[in-house]
Structure 1
Amino acid sequence: MKVITLFENRTISEEYISKHGLSLYIETANHKILFDTGVDDSFIYNASKLGVNLEEIDIAIISHGHYDHGGGLEGFLKINSKAKIYIGKSAFDNHIKIIEGNVKHDIGLNKKLLPNSRFIFVDKIIKIDDELILFADIKGKKLVPIGNDKLLKEDSNGLVEKDNFEHEINLLINENQKYSLICGCAHKGIVNIIECANDIVASHLKIVIGGFHLKGMDFSSSRDTAFLDELATLLSSNGVEKYYTCHCTGEEAYSYLDEKIKNLNELKTGMIIDL
């Protein structure tokens, strides 16, 4: 399996465009996968520089309904005419972030893309084939990111409430009965997502790739550092061979966890990993 970071907050070289967001190209034995599109069409430029032909993508996945993961979807649809687009069932609902001064900021996807016959909406578990499984409906409550408190959703009646992230989906890739997990921001909590994945495949995971949504944590707060300490303990003891984290984990949180988790690595725009 090959993973190429098409778009991430940081970059290995100034020749690539880098902003807040995430997009990964994943090549397996049977598929060429686009996992998220970043905030805009920048991933298209980077893909060209990295030798990735987006026309050949046969499966695209949008991990959840925030613009920094699906903002480039319209651009991808113009380039690629064949890929099925897998996306959470409520990804196109109204998603809101509270910023300074209690201002509500729209962080959702472009509803003008609906309807589209290429979209396949994921509710619980979809087994695409023997290689790929998509899953949502995470029940666990361990170490849910503190940053979720500022993220809201609005229903069809205009009722605004905390986002429950039912629109978040995750990918499992099977290589010779060894499974890798790809997630976007792990709003449901990376520990809970891993435990759900373990239950689905009845084994430990080989690789975990994705953001842990730890940006904005207060390192002077005993509550926040206790959260990170417990997270480090659980991630170090659950049988995962290697982690690659990125995007919403945040540089400070990554540095903190890197001191405690021996098998933790980071991704940047332009990185190519052969697994």
Structure 2
Amino acid sequence: MKIQVLMENTAEGALCREHGLSLFLEVEGRKLLFDTGKSGRFLENADRMGVDVSAADLVVLSHGHYDHGGGLPEFLNRNQTAKVYVQETAFGSYYASRSDGTYEYIGILPELGESSRLVRLSGDFEIEKGLRLFRSMTGERFTSGSNQVLLIKEGSGYRRDFFEHEQNLLIEKEGKKVLVSGCAHRGIVNILDRAMELAGGPMDVVIGGFHLSNPGEGGTEPAETVNGIADYLRSFPTRYYTCHCTGLPAFQMLKDRMGAQISYASAGNLLEI
């Protein structure tokens, strides 16, 4: 199994970087694209890395924010066949409230929601044996405080977003259990718990953003929160790769407690599992 990081906030060498995430996975002959970054620039990186995105069998959009689905139009032009798996609410009116009292649109272009290439889901879904998407979970431990400023516009008002549009990918193939998250808005601890419940045991690998930074206003989650997450994650025989919305300061706090069990994944990285 291979995972290549096509786009992330940091990058190796001359590759593009942006506030976004895109991963390309190869498993048992399948080629999956997980998220499309903020723009079509992930395709530039793919070309430089020798990744043929036009050969992707399917796409997973983790949730309805621009930094994960902003490159979808360019992908649909490049790849003419792959279906795109999304939760049916992924094209909602998502906003972030800013400290100056304004509201910033952070969703995906609504017109993309009309594409015939979409597979709209209303909950957990098994793509095939060993490839499962899930959004269901009950835990609320160690969720990001910055979720408080992430909203849904309804009429002329706004309400808090509880992330019904967020889904995660659980892979059980090649004798491995791998969890892929986008931003983990609902808390990486809670998402991991649900993945282990579905898989019947610990993950071999977890990769994705843990949402421990606030990209709109800056700042990092309190040390108590980050350390609590680190202590929980390190209690399992799992290898972690984090990136994107985790933020480098929070990553360093995780690294200080977890050591070699956790690494940072930048654009250009290749992970062989």
Short-chain TM bin: over 0.9
1:250 and 2:247 matched: yes
Alpha-carbon distance in structure 1 between the residues aligned to 2:219 and 2:94: 24
What is residue 208 of structure 1 aligned with on the other side? 206
Q: Distance in 1 between matches of 2:254 and 2:107?
A: 30
Match of 2:256 among 245, 248, 259: 259
Q: How does 1:34-183 map to 2 (within 5 A)?
A: 34-155=33-154, 157-183=155-181
Contact 2:91 2:109 survives alignment (8 Å): yes
Partner of 2:7: 7
Matching residue's letter, 2:269: M
What is the alpha-carbon distance in structure 2 between the residues aligned to residue 158 and residue 121 of structure 1? Answer: 27
Does structure 1 retain, via aligned residues, the 8 Å contact 2:213–2:219? no
Structure 2 CA distance, aligned partners of 1:200 and 1:117? 30
**What code does the residue aligned with 1:257 have?**
L
- Which residue identity lines up with residue 52 of structure 2 in the other structure? N
Q: Percent identity?
A: 36
Runs (4+) of structure 1 moved beyond 4 Å? none
CA contact (8 A) 2:87 2:123 kept: no
Once the two structures are superposed, residues 44-88 of structure 1 have per-residue CA deviations (whole angstroms, 9 ceiling, x without a partner) of: 111000111111001101100000000000000111111110012
Secondary structure of 1:114's aligned partner: helix
TM-score normalised by length of structure 1? 0.94
Question: Root-mean-square deviation (CA), in Å?
Answer: 1.4
Give unpaired runs (5+ residues) of structure 1. none
CA contact (8 A) 1:208 1:240 kept: no
Q: State the partner residue of 2:270.
A: 272
More displaced stretch, 264-273 vs 175-184: 175-184
* C-alpha distance in 2 between matches for 1:170 and 1:55: 23
Is this contact kept in 2: 1:207–1:240, CA < 8 A? no
Post-superposition Cα deviations, 1:145-175, rounded to whole Å, max 9, x if no partner, equal 11111111123x4441111000001001112
Instruction: Name stretches of at least 5 consecutive residues in structure 2 with no aligned partner.
Output: none
| In structure 1, C-alpha distance between the alignment counterparts of 2:219 and 2:268, rounded to whole Å | 30
Q: TM-score, normalised by structure 2?
A: 0.95
Residues paired across the two proteins, number: 269
Matches of 1:80 and 1:240, distance apart in 2: 37
Aligned partners of 2:166, 2:52: CA distance in 1, in Å? 27
Q: Contact conserved, 1:122 with 1:136, CA < 8 A, in 2?
A: no
Matched AA of 1:75: E
- The residue type paired with residue 258 of structure 2 is I
